[in-house]
Amino acid sequence: MLRPDPAQRPRLAEIRDNLVARITEAGREGWLGEIDGLEVSLACALDKLAQLGADEARSRQPVDLGMPPFAQVAG
């Protein structure tokens, strides 16, 4: 699975905002087919942003290195 680059978060946010604006325009103009395609793209952009958020949250959690308790080592 490809993961988005965290450095691309601003670009993804820009894409999301652009898609929302284009969906609004398509609705105003009555372009229903265009709306469907843009909503699919918007869902993908939102998914990528959610992946970035989950990856960042996961990277802040402590990692268990599997170290044995001191009593087992000193024994």
CB 42 within 8 A of CB 23: yes
The structure tokens listed for 11 are 């670009």
pTM: 0.69
**Residues 32-40, mean pLDDT to the nearest whole number:** 94
| Residue ranges per structural domain of the chain | 8-59
Write down the pLDDT at residue 6. Answer: 86
For residue 20, pLDDT beyond 80: yes
pLDDT-derived band at 54, boundaries 50, 70, 90? confident
